[in-house]
């Protein structure tokens, strides 16, 4: 049987889609080795890394069929089409369709128009990222995603339930609902809050539901009530991007600092064990030193504990790319300062949890040492040789080792 390799860059949605494509390719049973590369263009650095990954795959797999897709096609499709060694460039919107891959020489006699998930789709995983929404209608000034992923689209509710049931029957204990702008989910009037309730009510076997990145303006009072549900894991990641009103306005974000503060405080009050994470862009064009310090101080005191810092990089075709850009060294300097803050906030949270009890899910086990994620998404380690996909409950947190909480 031919070897099928997937190389995935970027977000969780890409990883989810790559799993789907691998299942498609395995079902087709190609005659030649295949390397599938799912690219990312969220930043210029990500686009450069995507191009490097494709060139490296060509060098290391001279006899394989190299297939390229992903968000980078929005800005570099012609580059990949002209690159010697690339067998096929698949449009991003068509990358999970079976018919996109039938031109690859394969061994099966007929191709089904729809491929069902099977146990080969998500091998060796303890959790599944289920993308229920794709695309974005917001057009923030820095973001290429609406051009790369298109307008907002939602998976039908019945299909979501079918997939959730399938994964639960396969033994997965945690499902992560994912989307580019997940709170914009809408299926015939069924909104995001409604689909979450729909899942919980119709699949009672699902005990661990996690929700991925949220846009602050999509978090309403109904969702704040919903987060109290024990089967929803006590961790949310919010795309705040900045802690300064002027910068948020320049980014064309649809909320103010006052709105953001209200959301954070309401979430924290609704669920006291909730841990909040956030995306933050460092060095957005026109951001003054005063605005950066204002943003830094807001984030420092906001109640957010886990930060993901993005140094700003201009994306051609976006409004922000036409603004006056900050010097690169200034952007990196601000990113470094924010990352130092991120380390402190995470460490402070970890220290505050020592001598309390926690539960979590084992994701990896090596050398009589198991690691995984706690319910609040913090990483843990235990010296028990437990198999992956094991739920552990009410373990004492005794300290910190190599950035992970120690459970006994």
**155 occurs within a structural domain:** no
User: What is the four-CA torsion angle of 386, 389, 390, 392, rounded to 10 degrees?
Assistant: 110
**114 occurs within a structural domain:** no
Other Cβ atoms less than 10 A from the Cβ of 77: the count is 14
Any idea what the CATH number is for the domain that residue 28 is in?
Answer: 3.40.50.12160
pLDDT(274) > 60: yes
Higher confidence at residue 35 or residue 74? 35
DSSP3 helix / strand / coil % (the chain, rounded to 5): 40, 25, 35
**Whole-number pLDDT of residue 119:** 42
**32 occurs within a structural domain:** yes
**Whole-number pLDDT of residue 269:** 97
pLDDT(375) > 60: yes
**139 occurs within a structural domain:** no
Higher confidence at residue 166 or residue 242? 242
Q: Which residue has the tokens 């990483």?
A: 379
- Residue 122 confidence class, pLDDT cut points 50, 70, 90: low
**Whole-number pLDDT of residue 124:** 52
- Domain range for 64 is 4-100
Higher confidence at residue 308 or residue 112? 308
Mean pLDDT, the chain, whole residue set: 90
Three-class SS state of 143: coil
**112 occurs within a structural domain:** no
Q: 175-229, pLDDT tens digit by residue?
A: 999 988 999 999 999 999 999 999 999 999 999 999 989 999 999 999 999 999 9
| The last residue of a domain, from among 100, 124, 141 | 100
pLDDT(1) > 80: no
Nearest to 70 by CA among 97, 91, 46: 91
- Distance between CA atoms of residues 313 and 143, nearest Å: 10
pLDDT > 90: percent of the chain: 68
**69 occurs within a structural domain:** yes
| The last residue of a domain, from among 36, 67, 100 | 100
| The last residue of a domain, from among 100, 115, 132 | 100
**Whole-number pLDDT of residue 120:** 43
The length of the chain is: 408
Nearest to 262 by CA among 308, 302, 214: 302
Average pLDDT for residues 337-355, to the nearest whole number? 97
Nearest to 23 by CA among 120, 162, 163: 120
- Residue 344 confidence class, pLDDT cut points 50, 70, 90: very high
| The token pair that represents 102 in the structure block | 């039938």
Contact 385/370 with Cβ under 8 angstroms?
yes
Higher confidence at residue 143 or residue 244? 244
**191 occurs within a structural domain:** no
**Whole-number pLDDT of residue 25:** 85
Number of separate domains in the chain = 2
- Distance between CA atoms of residues 40 and 315, nearest Å: 12
pLDDT(121) > 60: no
Higher confidence at residue 316 or residue 142? 142
- Residue 123 confidence class, pLDDT cut points 50, 70, 90: low
233's CB contacts (< 8 A; 6+ apart) are 174, 208, 209, 210, 211, 375, 376, 377
**91 occurs within a structural domain:** yes
Q: 93-118, pLDDT tens digit by residue?
A: 888 787 888 888 887 765 543 344 44
């Amino acid at each position: 049987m031919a070897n099928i390799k997937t190389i995935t860059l970027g977000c969780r949605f890409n990883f989810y889609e790559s799993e789907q494509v691998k299942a498609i390719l395995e079902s087709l049973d190609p005659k030649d080795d295949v390397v599938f590369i799912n690219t990312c263009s969220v930043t210029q650095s990500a686009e450069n890394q995507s191009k490097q990954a494709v060139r490296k795959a060509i060098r290391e797999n001279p006899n394989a069929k190299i297939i390229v897709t992903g968000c980078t096609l929005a800005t570099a499709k012609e580059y990949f089409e002209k690159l010697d060694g690339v067998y096929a460039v698949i449009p991003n919107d068509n990358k999970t369709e079976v018919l996109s891959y039938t031109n690859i020489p394969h061994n099966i006699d007929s191709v089904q128009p729809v491929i069902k998930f099977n146990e080969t789709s998500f091998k060796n995983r303890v959790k599944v990222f289920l993308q229920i929404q794709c695309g974005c209608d917001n057009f923030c000034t820095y973001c290429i995603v609406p051009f790369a992923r298109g307008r907002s689209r939602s998976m039908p509710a019945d299909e979501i339930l079918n997939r959730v049931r399938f994964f639960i029957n396969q033994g997965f204990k945690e499902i992560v609902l994912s989307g580019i702008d997940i709170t914009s989910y809408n299926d015939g009037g069924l909104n995001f809050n409604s689909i979450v309730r729909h899942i919980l009510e119709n699949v009672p076997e699902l005990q661990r539901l996690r929700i991925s990145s949220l846009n602050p303006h999509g978090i309403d009072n109904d969702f704040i009530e919903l987060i109290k549900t024990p089967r929803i894991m006590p961790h949310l990641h919010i795309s705040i991007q900045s802690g300064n009103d002027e910068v948020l306005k320049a980014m064309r974000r649809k909320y103010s600092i006052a709105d953001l503060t209200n959301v954070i405080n309401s979430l924290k009050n609704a669920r006291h064990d909730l841990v909040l994470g956030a995306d933050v862009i460092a060095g957005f064009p026109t951001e003054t030193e005063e605005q950066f310090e204002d943003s830094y101080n807001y984030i420092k005191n906001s109640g957010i504990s886990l930060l993901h810092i993005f140094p700003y990089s201009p994306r051609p075709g976006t409004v922000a790319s036409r603004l006056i850009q900050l010097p690169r060294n200034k952007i990196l300097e601000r990113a470094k300062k924010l990352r130092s803050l991120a380390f402190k906030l995470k460490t402070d949270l970890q220290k505050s949890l020592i001598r309390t009890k926690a539960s979590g899910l084992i994701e990896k086990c090596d050398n009589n040492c198991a690691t995984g994620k706690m319910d609040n998404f913090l990483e843990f380690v235990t010296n028990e040789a437990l198999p992956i996909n094991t739920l552990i409950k009410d373990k004492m947190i005794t300290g910190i080792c190599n950035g992970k909480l120690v459970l006994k």
